[in-house]
Amino acid sequence: MLKYGYLLAALTLCCSFVLPARPGVLGPVREKNAGKITAGPGDGRINPTSIDPDKVFLLIDKSSYRLYLYEDTRLLKMYKVVFGSDDLSDKRMQGDKRTPEGTFHISMKRYDRRWSRFMLLDYPNAQSLARFNARKARGLLPAGAKPGNGIGIHGVRPGVQPAIDMRINWTDGCIGMKNADVNELFRIVKTGTPVVIRR
């Protein structure tokens, strides 16, 4: 757990963690983690019972449109994701459709009629509010601006799934995934799982 703590601290402070190459190919990850994958019809799905949820964290890289699932320092899988605005910068205020950056935690999980599964993040947290208030104090935001809330990781409505492969940003600031992927992730993470979002 000590090694895991140092890794998460490094991600939080500098976001300089070395990611795998970004071609979007999952083959090498699957081969290196064959013990984590369920035997079956070649669907590449992970067996949640082989993973320690206390060591799991998520790294979301907006530039590569990927969500990286880690158990301690071991990369288990990469998922394709999309965001809100095509402007991939940090969320500034409610309604801008941007996805926030920083270190968050999953604060709630639920089944959802629209999104298949929904994992709420604890945005805005103290760090997000500090950045929001600093921008507001410098006059960079309207006087009536609010930080927003309700940011989470979720699936897609029928017919929208191709947007994930095409990197079409369409959410209100959330992280959108294919339904099969979000359903798998939902079974692995728990309330309190750390989520680092970076650009």
Enzyme catalytic residues: 154, 174
- Amino acid at the residue 179: N
CA distance 43 to 135: 46
CA 14 from centroid of its chain's CA atoms: 17
Distance set, CA 50 to CA 7, 28, 45, 95, 100 (Å): 21, 19, 12, 40, 31
Helix ranges (DSSP H) in 124-188: 126-137, 162-166, 179-188
Handedness of CA 191, 105, 109, 72 (dihedral sign): negative
Which H or E run contains 104? strand 102-112
- Amino acid at the residue 98: R
